Amino acid sequence: MNVVVFTGGVGGAKLCDGLARSVGEEHLTIIVNTADDFELYGLHISPDLDTVMYTLAGIANPVTGWGIEGDTFNNFAMLERYGVSPWFHLGDRDLATHLLRTQLLREGMPLSMVTRVLAQRLGVKARLLPMTDDRVRTVVDTDEGLFHFQEYFVRLRWQPEVRSLIYEGVEEAHPNDEALRAIEIADTIIIAPSNLYFSIDPILALPGMKDALLNAAAPIIAVTPIIGGEAVKGPAAKLMRELGEESSAVAVARHYADFLNGFVLDERDAELEPRIACMGMGVLVTDTLMTDRDARARLACEVINFADQLRPEKLGGCRADLLPPQR
């Protein structure tokens, strides 16, 4: 059983946790966005990788979704005493991850290997892959100017109006080789309920990544990050509106339509099912909110079963003729 997940941070990490519990961590390959990575005091910080890693290691902060449970912020307090007010709050324990990662990167180890070392030491058995070892950075073009992602997201709290996004460096970046191979031999490929533009698109923009999906034998299923026209967390819906899209699950399905075989729609949006089904993909309507750990595992199970339903048709070949599954 080989399950491949494309993911960003918090929402995607929850689904990964559910998948880990329902199909077993060792069957998971998780391809993680690194276009949000940034440097603070010379430390290399990979927010999405850390969120997924902490979540799978069972040490994620359950309230925020990011950072480490029970972490303290004494380092931060001291930085403030020095008159430095970083807009990104790093916990004392969390800082250990960044210190080690930065040290290993400086010693010449690629990010993928650093990630493997860190994840293994925290007991994570899933294969956690940064989308690339190369530097890709999301730049947000807004009505207030150009900002690096974290500045826009954390410091400006995604308030400026977005005109477009640039994934700086993505054309020259090499997608992670293991990721490409995993997609090739996958039984199921899942696009996690992560931000389309900030988390999933940078991965898809890597040279060869979209082709890998188009050539994949496995059914490809996306779980909606939009419920009732709003993002479960973060700026996805606001961004869709600013970029001239309909802020709804329909637009998410349309966004991924050229490679998608199935779409998991939230039950609160059940009336949108026909509009998505007519794009030629299967639709599973269910509760996608993942309010607790059991809900994560339940949703993960449903997604895997949904993929199994899609598989025969997929193997049959005609993607466009797929019927929506019976509810």
Binding interface with a second copy (CB under 8 A): 41-43, 68, 71-72, 74-79, 81-84, 91-97, 99-100, 102-103, 106, 118, 121-122
Nearer to a second copy, 79 or 154 (CB): 79
Alpha carbon distance 230, 299 (integer Å): 19
Nearest approach, Cβ of residue 38 and a second copy (Å): 14
Nearest approach, Cβ of residue 83 and a second copy (Å): 5
Nearest approach, Cβ of residue 219 and a second copy (Å): 37
Residue 323 CA, chain-centre distance (Å), reads 27
Torsion of CA 72, 192, 302, 182, to 10 degrees: -110
Would you say the C-alpha torsion 119, 35, 187, 181 has a positive or negative sign? negative
Alpha carbon distance 80, 175 (integer Å): 39
- 105 strand-pairing partners: none
Nearest approach, Cβ of residue 33 and a second copy (Å): 23
3 state DSSP class of 158: coil
Residue 266 buriedness (CB in 10 A; 0-12 / 13-18 / 19+): buried
Nearer to a second copy, 24 or 123 (CB): 123
Q: Phi/psi class of residue 233: alpha, beta or left (left: φ > 0; alpha: ψ in -120 to 50)?
A: beta
The dihedrals phi and psi of 13, each to the nearest 5 degrees, come to -60, -40
Nearest approach, Cβ of residue 86 and a second copy (Å): 10
- 188 strand-pairing partners: 3
Nearer to a second copy, 116 or 319 (CB): 116
Nearer to a second copy, 87 or 316 (CB): 87
Nearest approach, Cβ of residue 116 and a second copy (Å): 13
Task: Report the interhelical angle of 92-106 vs 74-81 (nearest 10°).
Answer: 80
Nearer to a second copy, 77 or 270 (CB): 77
Nearer to a second copy, 135 or 238 (CB): 135
